[in-house]
Amino acid sequence: MDALEIIRQIGSVEELEKAAQSCGRDAVPAFNTHIHLPPNFSAFETVQEAVEQAAAEGLKVLGAGNYYDFTVYESFAEGCRRRGIFPLFNTEIITLDEPLLRKGIRINDPGNPGKMYLCGKGISRWSALSPRGRELLAAIRRNDAERMRQMIDKLSEHFRRCGLPIELDDRAVIQRVVRRHRCEPSTVTLQERHAAQAFQEVLFEKVPPAERIGRLTALFGTAPKSAPQDAVGIQNEIRSHLMKAGKPCFVPETFLSPAQAEELIGHLGGIVCYPVLADGASPICEFEASPEELANTLLQRGYWMAEFISLRNSPEVLVRYVRTLRQSGIAVTVGTEHNTLEKPPLEPACLKGVPLPEEVKTIFWEGTCVLAAHQFLSAHGKEGFARPEEMSDVTRRCAQIERFARLGAAVLKRYFEKLSRG
């Protein structure tokens, strides 16, 4: 079944808008609006593994936010339907803001001034993308593929010079991803983590544990901090010692501008959403220096939604930022990413596993309902969230958030009722 057909079958727009008028606020369930699914680099081997963990934890809503290929969304939607979970379809785009780069301003990447992550939430048009949308998406994939090809070649040469002839190229790394996740090569967008994992795996195959510290010291120019059998730690050190700016295997990235990313998200039918790092960086990035300044900047840019990966944040800082953004008329959501091999719980929490404060959990759930409403309307070909005429002042913005949250709550209620009836 088509991924969006699962959403369209909930009912007509007229039915659900009527139901929303009398839809009350139920208890807030477990939910997560942002994880990465394979073949993106992910904590999960398969889409089904992610869905099964979500079901085991009692999540009722789960959102995927993959880079640049959405083929897995059909199996994701079907898996969610079978396990009683509402699926959200999103994407993530890396951009470069040239003016902020020139000023040395860090946005939401603490190591790279000018580099900005943006999310497209509630996308609905990936299978019928416009020519301009296809052009932008193809440019991202082409630029990423060329960069990863060059970086993997540099890694192979560096390992060879250090006495470890590991002959990997981009095709070989893609094939490893294909075997691991049983996917088509055309769906793979190689990331730095894929390359680091491939080189770590071959190194472990060729070098016994007793010899690894010496070999890694030669590769890195300094002794590794990770234990010789710590695969994930060694992968991270391959990235930090060899693949980052100023390191021997670094290749500069070619990014879309924020305006181009916003355009692509529009063609995909999504909401432009800013991922907030806050105290996930120390010190906090200049772009996010205070919640008030961040809210004003996002509103000036026309970003009406923000998202937190709350495992990075202390409860105190999270409350300040989430409260300020919501009071400014910005809808807010939360996820976990799960874009490393570590596998924490899927239900979001704060730094060190501290539970989300009830205030922010309620706001995050409201934002999740807004997303459900937007995706439902978009699936029916209707205009979704963030209508420009309704964003002129804080009162109108907050009213639209509340209206969409009511509709989303009705959408979710009807979805679960239909599932319960089989």
Residue-wise pLDDT for 88-100, tens only, equals 999 999 999 999 9
Mean pLDDT of 143-147: 94
Mean pLDDT of 209-231: 96
For residue 388, pLDDT over 80 is answered with no
pLDDT class of 260 with cuts at 50, 70, 90: very high
Pairing mode, if any, of strands 305-309 and 331-335?
Answer: parallel
Q: What is the pLDDT of residue 110?
A: 92
Residue-wise pLDDT for 266-301, tens only, equals 999 999 999 999 999 999 999 999 999 999 999 999
In the sheet that 271-276 helps form, which strands lie side by side, from edge to edge? 30-35, 59-66, 86-96, 115-121, 271-276, 305-309, 331-335
For residue 191, pLDDT over 70 is answered with yes
Q: Hey, is 276 helix, strand or coil?
A: strand
Q: 4's torsion region: left (phi>0), alpha (psi -120 to 50) or beta?
A: alpha
Mean pLDDT of 191-198: 96
Give per-residue burial for 154-175: e unless 16+ CB within 10 Å, then b.
Answer: bbbebbeebebebebebeebbe
Could you give the CA distance from residue 89 to residue 165 in angstroms, rounded to a whole number? Answer: 41
Are residues 232 and 341 in contact, defined by beta-carbon separation less than 8 angstroms? yes
Q: What is the pLDDT of residue 227?
A: 96
Mean pLDDT of 352-361: 97
The model carries a pTM of 0.93
Could you give the CA distance from residue 278 to residue 308 in angstroms, rounded to a whole number? Answer: 9
The domain ranges of the chain are: 3-129+268-420, 144-243
Could you give the CA distance from residue 129 to residue 124 in angstroms, rounded to a whole number? Answer: 9
Query: Which residue has better confidence, 392 or 210?
Result: 210
Residue written as tokens 């944040």? 313
For residue 208, pLDDT over 90 is answered with yes
Segment holding 89, helix H or strand E: strand 86-96
Q: What is the pLDDT of residue 1?
A: 59
Could you give the CA distance from residue 58 to residue 97 in angstroms, rounded to a whole number? Answer: 39
Are residues 268 and 123 in contact, defined by beta-carbon separation less than 8 angstroms? yes
Helix axes of 170-181 and 192-206: crossing angle, nearest 10 degrees: 90
Bridge partners (DSSP) of residue 63 are 88
CATH topology for 3-129+268-420 is TIM Barrel (3.20.20)
Are residues 326 and 318 in contact, defined by beta-carbon separation less than 8 angstroms? no
Share the mean pLDDT of the chain.
95
Q: Which of 176, 164, 119 is nearest to 307 (CA)?
A: 119
Mean pLDDT of 354-376: 97
Q: What is the pLDDT of residue 218?
A: 96
Q: Which of 219, 244, 81 is nearest to 157 (CA)?
A: 219
Q: Which of 421, 415, 308, 416 is nearest to 367 (CA)?
A: 308
